[in-house]
Amino acid sequence: MRIWYDACTGKHVRYGAAIAKRLEHYGHEIIFTTREHPDTIPLARHLGLNFEVVGRYDPRTLYTRLYESLRRQMIFCKMFRDKPPDIAISHCSVDQCRVAFGLKIPIISTFDTPHADAVNRLTLPLVDVLIASKAISDEFLKSCSIKRIIKFDGVDEVAWVKDFQPKQKFDYDHPLIVVRQIEIRAAYAEGKEDITLKVAKKLLKYGNVVFLSRYVKRRIKGLIVPRSFIDSASLVAEADLVVSVGGTIAREAALQGTPSIIIPVLGALEVNRYLHEKGFPIFIVNPNEVEEYVEKYLGKKFNVKERVFELENPVDIIEKVVKEIELKKK
């Protein structure tokens, strides 16, 4: 079958790479699309993906955000007008969901962001099969008018961390602390304070601090601010500690045994609590507690390999759903 995967962010690229690898193994043709975004194209190249860039991410204003989304949808319409794919898969891509729904292409979506209200409103009601972590509350999912929900006992990041081998090496001195900036231009972060830079500067007394900024790669006194592509999953495997507001990098770190401190600016996300309860080194703390936790956990690597292999891989679920759809089409 022809299967279309659309990746809007770096996380989606990693997820899509794991899904594409599995489905290509079974003979499916993958159409992998992404958009111009600081985290997408460099990572897709790093992973050796065969991908097509369609449109761009432009969050400067509400108008540019909407305009670029609609432009992307029109390009997809033309791409698939005469030969639509058999299945569309994404991590709640607004553009893919709208086009696939309009062209009657079955939609499979993964999901772990109840806080992304705008995206959820525009995607979840259109999805045919939603694959979500057991961590996500049933109460929330039932309120979203989703046709079919399949839950798995794990988190999305298991898809690529379970068999992950770092592809990039770093020559930073240790102790090494990685601080990831909040996604300042995302709709869900509107009105939220970005405290990550302030925290990064405070942590300089504990060791070398790599500050992974989102958009502006300017020099900041004392901090290491990479200007070129960094494979963050490889970086956190090598780091002694990671600090973030709780996004993908927090879970990538914890699943590799690196202590991960989360400042819950976006709320204490359910998937992070779930991993903490499973015994992974992921800690949700108030801003004034960060240094206390840094002193306690800096450099303490955790052996979590057995725990990781106890978690379900969402790609297994996706593979089964694809087989179901394939059988129905025969």
- Ordered per-residue pLDDT tens for the chain, 330 residues: 999 999 999 999 999 999 999 999 999 999 999 999 988 999 999 999 999 999 999 988 999 999 999 999 999 999 999 999 999 999 999 999 999 999 999 999 999 988 888 999 999 999 999 999 999 998 888 888 899 999 999 999 999 999 898 888 888 989 999 999 877 555 554 655 678 889 999 999 999 999 998 766 778 888 999 888 889 999 999 999 999 987 899 999 999 999 999 998 866 689 999 999 999 999 999 989 999 999 999 989 999 999 999 999 999 999 999 999 988 876
Q: Does 185 lie in the same domain as 156?
A: no
For residue 4, which phi and psi values (nearest 5 degrees)? -105, 125
Entry field: residues in the chain: 330
Clarify whether residues 180 and 226 are in a common domain. Answer: yes
Same domain? 93 vs 60:
yes
Q: How far apart are CA 289 and CA 190, in angstroms?
A: 24
Residue labelled with tokens 């490889």: 234
pLDDT at 116: 86
Q: What's the domain count of the chain?
A: 2
Tell whether 127 and 240 lie within a shared domain. Answer: no
Same domain? For 139 and 205 the reply is no
Please check whether residue 167 lies inside any domain of the structure.
no
Same domain, 100 and 27: yes
Host domain of residue 188? 176-310
In a domain, 36, yes or no: yes
164 near 145, Cβ under 8 Å?
A: no
pLDDT value of residue 327: 87
77: its two tokens:
């319409």
12 and 57 housed in the same domain: yes
pLDDT at 192: 58
Task: Based on the fold, state whether residues 119 and 212 are members of the same structural domain.
Answer: no
Report the CATH number that the domain containing residue 232 is assigned in CATH. 3.40.50.2000
* Strand residue runs (E) in the chain: 2-7, 29-36, 52-56, 87-90, 107-111, 129-133, 149-152, 176-180, 208-212, 241-244, 260-262, 282-284
Specify whether 200 is located in the same domain as 266.
yes
Instruction: Specify which residues 129 forms β-bridges with.
Output: 108
Q: Is the peptide bond before 59 cis (omega within 30 degrees of 0)?
A: no
Q: Rounded to the nearest 10 degrees, how much is the dihedral formed by the CA atoms of 190, 191, 193, 194?
A: 20
Report if residue 149 sits inside a domain: yes
Torsion of CA 32, 126, 58, 12, to 10 degrees: -40
Tell me what pLDDT residue 186 has.
Answer: 58
